[in-house]
């Protein structure tokens, strides 16, 4: 019941500060940017002056699965940045402004407080992601070739896990630090470090969450679910839940006022 109160408050807040409008919009734009620009590239080149005479330039034909990867690539860079920026102050900001003093001096369980933040962000992120990938799927079908509904659902589900990890990481740093800038910086830094480690020690880190996109590509291309995708998903879920539980413990040890 207390969780509901906190959760409803988060949802209302995100509605009043228009996150429910701009986050889905930005995610949709990011999702369809690559499919559309790749398809219309010849026309775009033409309109900006074309190629020098005599040049023959073969534009590659993209497979639907390749276009999916482009979309996920955009989401993994700019999309992640947007999500981190949107959630960097969710707890840190409340502690800085002091409003958390009024909330947490009520008999509020810290677990409920963090869980409400986490789940309300996930609802927003998953909703935006589903919408973005749905629109991207529509354009891929229209412009590049058929992609099944099963593939669409798979992409949303497995890529959603990656975004869940990003949100969990942000929540985790939110409980540690009071400065939202630092939260954003460390979240991005952690994701980058994970990506570099995955590239260097690729053979040992086959189930690194950073590989989700490439396994999704494989799944869409082969129309089957590779076992690595399952393993990576499990690792991603465990990491997210682990970060969440870690946040509970860290928050409990924190002093809630200066």
* Identified binder of other proteins from the candidate list 47, 48, 107, 203, rule CB under 8 A: 107
Helix boundaries (H) for the chain: 2-16, 19-39, 41-47, 64-74, 80-87, 92-97, 99-104, 110-143, 149-176, 180-200, 212-222, 227-253
* Identified binder of other proteins from the candidate list 1, 49, 203, 227, rule CB under 8 A: 1
How far apart are the C-alpha atoms of 234 and 240, rounded to whole Å? 10
The least distance separating other proteins from the CB of residue 221, rounded to whole angstroms, comes to 46
Q: Check binding of 22 to other proteins (CB under 8 A).
A: no
Which stretch in 73-81, 104-112, 137-145, 152-160 sits in contact with other proteins by CB under 8 A?
104-112
The least distance separating other proteins from the CB of residue 100, rounded to whole angstroms, comes to 9
Three-class DSSP labels, 86-146: HHCCCCHHHHHHCHHHHHHCCCCCHHHHHHHHHHHHHHHHHHHHHHHHHHHHHHHHHHCCC
* Identified binder of other proteins from the candidate list 41, 59, 99, 153, rule CB under 8 A: 99
Q: Check binding of 108 to other proteins (CB under 8 A).
A: yes
Q: Which two tokens stand for residue 188?
A: 């991005």
How far apart are the C-alpha atoms of 10 and 119, rounded to whole Å? 9
The least distance separating other proteins from the CB of residue 13, rounded to whole angstroms, comes to 6
How far apart are the C-alpha atoms of 19 and 11, rounded to whole Å? 10
How far apart are the C-alpha atoms of 14 and 48, rounded to whole Å? 41
Q: Check binding of 21 to other proteins (CB under 8 A).
A: no
Which stretch in 94-102, 127-135, 184-192, 224-232 sits in contact with other proteins by CB under 8 A?
94-102
Q: Check binding of 43 to other proteins (CB under 8 A).
A: no
Cα torsion 43, 48, 52, 58: sign: negative
The pattern of x and - marking residues 185 through 224 that bind other proteins according to CB under 8 A reads ----------------------------------------
Which stretch in 82-90, 92-100, 122-130, 224-232 sits in contact with other proteins by CB under 8 A?
92-100
Q: Which two tokens stand for residue 42?
A: 């010849």
The least distance separating other proteins from the CB of residue 2, rounded to whole angstroms, comes to 6
> How many positions of this chain bind other proteins (CB under 8 A)?
22
Residue that the structure tokens 């999309």 belong to: 79
Q: Which residues bind to other proteins, rule: CB under 8 A?
A: 1-2, 5-6, 9, 13, 16-17, 97-99, 101-108, 255-257
């Amino acid at each position: 019941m207390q969780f509901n109160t906190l959760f409803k408050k988060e949802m209302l807040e995100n509605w009043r500060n228009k996150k429910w409008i701009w986050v889905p919009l930005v995610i949709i734009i990011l999702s369809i940017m690559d499919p559309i620009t790749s398809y219309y590239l010849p026309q775009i080149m033409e309109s900006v002056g074309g190629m020098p005479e005599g040049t023959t330039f073969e534009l590659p034909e993209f497979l639907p699965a390749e276009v999916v990867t482009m979309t996920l690539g955009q989401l993994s860079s700019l999309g992640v940045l947007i999500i981190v920026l949107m959630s960097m102050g969710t707890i840190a900001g409340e502690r800085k402004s002091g409003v958390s003093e009024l909330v947490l001096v009520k008999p509020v369980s810290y677990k409920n407080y963090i869980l409400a933040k986490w789940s309300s962000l996930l609802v927003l992120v998953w909703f935006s992601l589903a919408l973005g990938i749905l629109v991207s799927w529509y354009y891929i079908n229209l412009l590049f070739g058929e992609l099944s509904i099963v593939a669409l659902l798979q992409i949303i589900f497995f890529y959603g896990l990656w975004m869940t990890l990003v949100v969990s990481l942000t929540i985790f740093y939110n409980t540690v630090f009071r400065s939202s800038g630092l939260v954003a910086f460390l979240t991005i830094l952690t994701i980058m470090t994970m990506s570099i480690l995955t590239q260097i020690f690729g053979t040992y880190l086959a189930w690194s969450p950073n590989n989700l996109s490439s396994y999704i590509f494989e799944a869409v291309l082969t129309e089957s679910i590779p076992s690595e995708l399952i393993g990576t998903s499990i690792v991603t879920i465990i990491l997210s839940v682990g970060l969440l539980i870690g946040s509970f413990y860290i928050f409990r040890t924190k002093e809630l006022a200066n």
